[in-house]
Amino acid sequence: MSGECHDEVCITCSDQLLAMVVSDVDVPARIARGTIDGADVEVSIDLIDGVTAGEVLLCHGGVALQRGLPLEVGA
């Protein structure tokens, strides 16, 4: 398993979306920083406009694919 695999699931070959809570957005770089299950992560936000801190993004393979609901991460 690669360093990005966890819980016996590889993010590159599963259909799993991971909920990320955004803490910071680098608009020029099109990157959001935040946490997934308590771990610090960075994801590309090329597919989503207007991302702001506090939002929940559903991510796969280091890319934010859509916005999520706060309930999806227990917030």
Q: Which amino acid is at 12?
A: T
Q: How far is CA 13 from the centre of its chain?
A: 16
Whole-number pLDDT of residue 17: 87
Of 46, 61, 58, 47, residue with least CA distance to 21: 58
User: Structural domain boundaries of the chain?
Assistant: 18-70
Whole-number pLDDT of residue 30: 98
d(CA 5, CA 28): 29
Of 56, 54, 50, 59, residue with least CA distance to 73: 56
Whole-number pLDDT of residue 4: 57
Q: How confident is the model at residue 65 (pLDDT cuts 50, 70, 90)?
A: very high
d(CA 40, CA 32): 11
Determine the average pLDDT of the residues in 11-22: 79
Residues 18-70, CATH architecture: Roll (2.30)
Does 5 have pLDDT greater than 70? Answer: no
